Amino acid sequence: MDEQFPHKEAEAYIALGSNMGNREQLLLSAISLLDTHPDVRVSSVSGMYETDPVGYTEQPPFLNMVLAVQTTLSPLMLLRQLLQFEQQLGRVRQIRWGPRTIDLDLLLYDNVRMDQEELTLPHPRMMERAFVLVPLHDVLDYSHQLQQEVSAASRVALLDGKEGITLWKTINWRSASEPFES
Ligand code: X6L
Ligand code: MG
Ligand code: MG
């Protein structure tokens, strides 16, 4: 057993998006920041998808992906850590729904349901966003109660074809971060 955390470890899913600067490097930096945090371990990484912008469409295409993480942080502490990492990676909030170096959204935290001003779980709009559902489908734990719903919705989104989502590349996070067997 390789138990980094002794107890109260939760599984959370985080959506990443970037459409400014070196998008791929920004996503990789965000993964690295998360995995380096003592109370977070990145357990699974989706494909990296290039996606047409939605909401505000007059902006460059995004790279989007989703991570599964194991964490001992509470949902609110995890959210605040994500916002701090956004700052660290140069996020400046200008136009609503506008271009950003990095966006880190907390989608799911175990089976927690909460509706507070600071945080709503599950993410209230994730089921409508193919750029979230398709990568989430890559990493979602099959034991999760939402899996069937996400699976169906992402299949619809992909078959639909009009969503503008293409696989950009696949990265092997574990082998990239642990290149040598010892
Ligand atoms: C009508 C009104 C239809 C608003 C859609 C959808 C607004 C998504 C905002 C909407 C609406 C959002 C990303 C993005 C944004 C991203 C891609 C948002 C916030 N973030 N497009 N647009 N990837 N492809 O990460 O999600 S802005
Ligand atoms: Mg977002
Ligand atoms: Mg956000």
Atom of ligand 1 nearest to the CA of 164: 24
Instruction: Quick: pLDDT tens for 158-175.
Output: 666 556 999 999 988 875
Please indicate, yes or no, whether the overall pTM of this predicted structure exceeds 0.75. Answer: yes
For each of the domains in the chain, give its residue range(s) and CATH number, in order of start: 10-169 (3.30.70.560)
Spacing, Cα 144 to ligand 2 middle (Å): 22
Spacing, Cα 73 to ligand 2 middle (Å): 21
Give me the pLDDT at residue 89, please. 97
H or E stretch covering 157: helix 147-160
Instruction: Say if residue 80 is exposed, middle or buried (CB neighbours under 10 Å; 0-12, 13-18, 19+).
Output: middle
Please check whether residue 104 is in contact with residue 66, taking contact to mean a CB–CB distance below 8 angstroms.
no
Instruction: Quick: pLDDT tens for 25-74.
Output: 999 999 999 999 999 999 999 999 999 999 999 999 999 999 999 999 99
Give me the pLDDT at residue 160, please. 61
Instruction: Quick: pLDDT tens for 57-66.
Output: 999 999 999 9
